[in-house]
Amino acid sequence: MAVLENYIGNKWVASKDEGQSLYNAFTGEQIATASTKGIDFADVLNYARKKGNPALRKMSFQERGLMLRALAMHLREHLDKFYQISYQTGATKADSWVDIEGGIGNLFSYASLRRKFPDESYCLDGQAHMLGKANTFMGQHLLVPKEGVAVHINAFNFPVWGMLEKIAVNLLAGVPAVVKPATVTSYLTQAVVKEIAASGILPDGALQLICGSAGDLLDHVESQDIITFTGSASTGLLLKSGKQVLSQNVPFTMEADSLNCIVLGEDVQPGMPEWDIFIKEVRKEMTTKCGQKCTAIRRIFVPENKLEDVHIALGKALSQTIIGNPTHEKVRMGSLAGETQRKEVKEQVQKLLAVSQIIYGSLNSVEVLDADALQGAFMSPLLLLNEHPFTSSETHEIEAFGPVATLMPYQSMEDAITLAKMGKGSLVSTVVTADKNLAKQYVLGAGTYHGRILILNSQCAKENTGHGSPLPLLVHGGPGRAGGGEEMGGIRGVKHYMQRVALQGSPDMITAVTNVYQPGATGNLDTVHPFKKYFEELTVGDQLLTEKRLITAEDIDRFADLSGDHFYAHLKETDFTGTLFDKQVAHGYFIISAAAGLFVDSYEKNPVLLNYGIDELRFTKPVYPGAEIYIRFTCKEKTGQEKKEPADIPRGIVKWLVEIMDDENEIVGIATILTMVAKKS
């Protein structure tokens, strides 16, 4: 019998203790045992802090992002192996695609997110604040990677996605991870970690794996660590209340199973596209992963006068779902993850039956294809009906974590909102409607109790990712019963693993610390024009003060004719009484164009390849004919780019602070422009 090894301290370690037996979910055959007996969890965490953390902290966001991309590409080379193991968890090919390739997709998403960060190991957070009238004292928030380890305690339903969606975020932030998957499906997680370790892509200590009990792991966490938990709310509360977690104020992010709901809008009638979309979505969410999803639909709210029609349509749709051997090409729903899970689901259904009745499926029998219904953890989809949802709290409090959902009536959208909120906090809700007003009413009414809301109609039906699919760049979590935490979320998620420091000091000091030029800092004046410097030769703070240009009424007239912008404020003959201006004023876009004419070195070929864009453009003071303007042009920030093709020109992106000054030395306009600059080598 195979014994699952734990990946600890850059080594594969097997426990001598037999531990927990693991089974093939659809045949019932034992396939392995898992145990963590003998592992010193204090050593595990210390190895991550002392070995993995310093290595990741030394890397820039760009390097860490490219590391994630390399890891994703490596794992894609082993998909067939992962699929074959995934089938043993009871997952079909479609289920496995979500778990395996969805998880790898998260790595790709966070690899791409590196472009939103600087070429440093740290980053700024928000805008700078001038704290003194003379501009010699300022404040700026800075984010630095924490010096601890991310401890991920994951659920059994997504053994690959559950790990990869979390480590993608902490690794981009510069923090190592210890992953503890649910033991029952940990053999699939281990197979993926085997390939990660073999690739050599991650630094030593960046990832460790525990297959089996977590033991006293959380008794050794420290203040720089971060804990994430996915699973039941009761287990999460127990872990979150641990003495060491509380005494060290360890951040704890919980994503708990919740009673997610879908609402059919009052406007939707049989025959409308939205009707078919609704039926299809409910069926998919009840049967995908055999209903074992923290985001699955558990409560179905429909207008009272459409209850019977929905009942019939859902029964017909569910009857077309073939259940059985997940490797069979005709099978659309596999088994639960194991006999323990099936027993728990049936126990929860029995509680729900105190206030509801089964209107589709059977609790004790199921027809399967190419499998043994008794040996495997198979279960029929169960559609329940609760005709009195306002007086039956069980439906809003008890979750059967399988292919089970309850149909309930409502009379008005206000009723639907009230019922949705009776779940006391959910990860996700969907409203299916073609009515914009109903959609707005539902979102604003139910939004406080949900982490995500999908508005589903015929317009987005083809491209939408579905009720049950969290997205890498959007937060995954929810309030109340759902745990109160946030996972993923793009840049927001990365910040969970970083310490926010409020810096105060002079612009020169803040520039030196952050390597981002701050307004008011001393510039590096040079006789060489900045545009004549290659990417490597540029230094943050390199500055150019341009000659002055006189702005005339003729300039303004010509720009109006050239651009077609004849806004009244730009015309000499306008009566300016009651306006914000004294007389004809220059177009803001003319001023920024004139600024470019002053700071661009225009006659010789130079390392600047192209203008990449303009950010944060503001016009702060009117410019009238007769004024003279000049530019303070400063290298603000640099970010290198990797080659996409061997023939690509080596280059990087340079941000420039453009301050447009008038003859009173006051800023009349300010912007950040981006240029693509060639590298010398």
Q: How far apart are CA 452 and CA 52, in angstroms?
A: 34
DSSP state of 535: G
**Residues 250-279 pLDDT 10s:** 999 988 888 999 999 999 999 999 999 999
Does any domain span residue 635?
A: yes
Whether 517 and 563 share a structural domain: yes
Beta strands 542-545; 628-641: pairing state = antiparallel
**Is 481 inside a domain boundary?**
no
Q: Give yes or no: residues 299 and 383 share one domain.
A: yes
Q: Is residue 470 part of a domain?
A: no
Task: Please check whether residue 75 lies inside any domain of the structure.
Answer: yes
Q: Which of 294, 399, 486, 487 is catalytic?
A: 294
Q: Which residue has the tokens 């979309």?
A: 277
Of 432, 406, 434, 402, nearest to 419 (Cα)? 406
Please write the tens of the pLDDT for every residue from 157-187.
Answer: 889 999 999 999 999 999 999 999 999 899 9
286, with CB counted inside 10 A (0-12, 13-18, 19+), is: buried
Backbone phi and psi for residue 553, each to the nearest 5 degrees, phi listed first: -60, -35
pLDDT digits (tens, 9 = 90+) for 134-159: 888 999 999 999 999 999 999 888 89
* Token pair listed for 427: 């990860």
Of all residues in the chain, the percent with pLDDT exceeding 90 is 71
Structure-block tokens of residue 677: 């600059």
User: Torsion-angle region of residue 547: left (phi > 0), alpha (psi -120 to 50) or beta?
Assistant: beta
Taking alpha carbons only, the member of 155, 610, 213, 180 closest to residue 399 is 155
Closest residue by Cα to residue 83 from 140, 160, 166, 11: 160
Residue 465: Cβ within 10 Å count: 12
Axis-axis angle for helices 61-76, 186-199 (nearest 10): 120
pLDDT of residue 471: 86
As a whole number, mean pLDDT of residues 603-614 equals: 86
Sheet with 404-410, side-by-side order of all strands? 357-360, 382-385, 404-410, 297-303, 260-264, 426-432, 450-456
**Exposed / middle / buried, residue 618 (Cβ in 10 Å: 0-12, 13-18, 19+):** exposed
Looking only at the bridges linking them, the beta strands covering 2-3 and 30-34 are: parallel
Percent of the chain scored above 70 by pLDDT?
100
Task: Specify whether 76 is located in the same domain as 160.
Answer: yes
What is the average pLDDT across 225-242? 88
Name the residue range of residue 535's domain: 511-678
**CATH code, 609:** 3.10.129.10
Contact (CB, 8 A) for 429 and 295: no
Tens of pLDDT, residue by residue over 507-517, are 999 999 999 99
Phi/psi of residue 465, each to 5°? -90, -5
Q: Are residues 577 and 661 in the same domain?
A: yes
Residue-level pLDDT at 1: 62
Mean pLDDT confidence for 240-247? 91
Whether 681 shows a pLDDT value over 80: the answer reads no
> Chain-centre distance of CA 24, in angstroms?
32
* Residue 124 is assigned to a structural domain of this protein: no
Count Cβ neighbours within 10 Å for each residue of 585-604 and write b for 16 or more, e otherwise. Answer: bbbbebbbebbeebbbeeee
Give bridge partners of residue 68 from the DSSP assignment.
none
Q: Angle CA(114)–CA(117)–CA(120) in degrees, nearest 5?
A: 105
Q: Which of 255, 266, 486, 637 is catalytic?
A: 255
Question: Does one domain contain both 337 and 408?
Answer: yes
Res. 606 pLDDT band, cuts 50 70 90: confident
Nearest to 28 by CA among 70, 85, 88: 88
User: What is the structure's pLDDT at 25?
Assistant: 85
Same domain, 440 and 518: no
Active site residue 304: no
pLDDT at site 379:
93
Asked whether 299 and 423 are in contact (CB, 8 A), the reply is: yes
Please tell me the predicted confidence (pLDDT) of residue 527. 83
Is 127 contained in some domain? no
Active-site residue, 294 included? yes
565 and 669 share one domain: yes
Give residue 670's pLDDT band: very low, low, confident or very high (50, 70, 90): very high
- Whether 476 is in a domain gets the answer no
96-134: pLDDT as tens digits: 989 999 999 999 999 999 989 999 999 999 889 998 888
Are 406 and 342 in the same domain? yes
Q: For residues 251 and 264, state if they share a domain.
A: no
Helix axes 79-86, 186-199, angle to 10 degrees: 160
Q: Which pair of tokens denotes residue 402?
A: 């399988």
Q: Which residue shows structure tokens 């693509």?
A: 676
Residues 565 and 589: beta-carbon distance below 8 Å: yes
pLDDT tens, residue by residue, 616-626: 899 999 999 99
Give the span between the Cα atoms of 350 and 348, in whole angstroms: 5
The answer to whether residue 495 scores a pLDDT higher than 70 is: yes
Per-residue buried b or exposed e for 168-180, using 16+ beta carbons within 10 Å of the residue's own CB: bbbbbbbbbbbbb
CA distance 460 to 436: 14
Q: State yes or no: pLDDT of 656 exceeds 90.
A: yes
List the Cα angle 359/269/394 in 5-degree steps. 35
* Contact between 662 and 628 (Cβ < 8 Å): yes
- CA 494 from centre of chain: 9
Residues 574 and 620 in one domain: yes
Copy the structure tokens of residue 289. 């992963």
Choose among 403, 404, 359: nearest CA to 385. Answer: 359
Are 388 and 436 found together in one domain? yes
CA nearest to 532, candidates 613, 629, 635: 635
Bridge partners (DSSP) listed for residue 123: 143
Residues in CB range of 541: below 8 A, 6 or more apart? 511, 517, 521, 522, 523, 524, 634, 635
Whichever domain contains 422, its CATH number is 3.40.309.10
Q: Tell me what the mean pLDDT of segment 402-419 comes to.
A: 96
Query: For the domain that residue 172 is a member of, what is the CATH number?
Result: 3.40.605.10
Do 320 and 211 sit in the same domain of this protein? no
Query: What predicted TM-score, i.e. pTM, was given to this entire model?
Result: 0.89
**How many structural domains compose the chain?**
3
Tell me the two tokens of residue 268.
Answer: 């939707």
Residue 554 CB-density burial (10 A; 0-12 exposed, 13-18 middle, 19+ buried): exposed
User: Does the pLDDT at position 612 exceed 80?
Assistant: yes
Residue 273: per-residue pLDDT: 94
